[in-house]
Amino acid sequence: MKTEWSINLLCAISCKACLILPMVFFTVGADAFILKVALLQMQPDENNVTENLKKAGEFCCRAAERDADIALMPEMWSIGYTRFDPEKPGAREEFYKDALALQDEAVQRFAMLARALDMAIGLTYLEQFEPAPRNTLTLFDRHGEVVFTYAKVHTSDFKPMEASMTPGEGFSTGVLDTRGGPVRVGAMICFDSEHPESARILMLQGAELVLTPNACRLDTMRLDQFKVRAWENAMGVAMANYPAPVCNGCSTAYDANGTCLVIADEKEGLFMASFDMDAIRERRLKTIHGNAYRRPHRYGPLLHSEQDDIWQRIDGNGQPYKPSTR
């Protein structure tokens, strides 16, 4: 494991040395601020943490070779979003054993890799937490420092796996230092994006770009939904999903106008999205959307947790779902 990671780090240092000259070939103008996000649509080795993290390191090196500013992984990449069998005795407890802490060597290696590559890395993993692990994204900047650690708020409680996890308590944004300048970045994970409140809060916290690890089939409706999150909040959004057969690929990105910047096929691969940050900021400055004409004093019912009978549900563990306890 240490030898493999040493090779990755040497690769990181050498591949950055050959990235200087290509910078002059941008056709958008010397002063344009183009932020490149690499969507790592990777095929996992089920819940083999060692092999999955090794592959992520290799894909990060490939992203750096393509001059990416940020590399983003699919949801809970460390375990390949591999679910446990709730009918198997002890399966949940075995699942918990795969959780990693931020200070663990396996996680901190990505801080080292980010620094060596001069590229931010969005690492997704099953995070150690009490009373149960979390579904987490840690964003390391190009200096290897933590920008934020975000845990999924809208855990998919209709599944036994995520109903057995601890949800996050709020949404995270932070200022990411990139080669082109600072960018305020936020995060939401998979099912978060299907709730408009997630992106709305990130917009209110100043997010210009939202990173979204994903692990579900992306049909036309979900892709349109994600596009609208960008448009209605005047911000860029980028999503990394799993290829077939785990999911169906379609990793994608949209700018603040809802224009599709990239959409992947269903195969494993690395897909690049280039965000014009100047254009995003111009739209934020002039749009009628976002926080321009909202009326928060009329939105009181959004804060209530009561549910009418028609919305009552049983969660993935066979228990009545109670929003206020999650």
Token code pair at residue 116:
């060596």
Q: What is the pLDDT of residue 31?
A: 80
pLDDT digits (tens, 9 = 90+) for 269-294: 999 999 999 999 999 999 999 999 99
For residues 3 and 240, the model is more confident at 240
Average pLDDT along the chain: 92
Give the whole-angstrom CA distance, residue 5 versus residue 119. 17
Q: What is the pLDDT of residues 49-102, one digit of tens each?
A: 999 999 999 999 999 999 999 999 999 999 999 999 999 999 999 999 999 999
Instruction: Report which residue type is found at 109.
Output: R
Report the distance separating Cα 9 and Cα 109, nearest Å.
Answer: 9
Out of 135-139, 249-253, 301-305, which region has the weakest mean confidence (pLDDT)? 301-305
d(CA 19, CA 250): 28
Fold of domain 2-16+37-290: Nitrilase/N-carbamoyl-D-aminoacid amidohydrolase (3.60.110)
Q: Which of 153, 141, 149 is nearest to 177 (CA)?
A: 141
pTM: 0.91
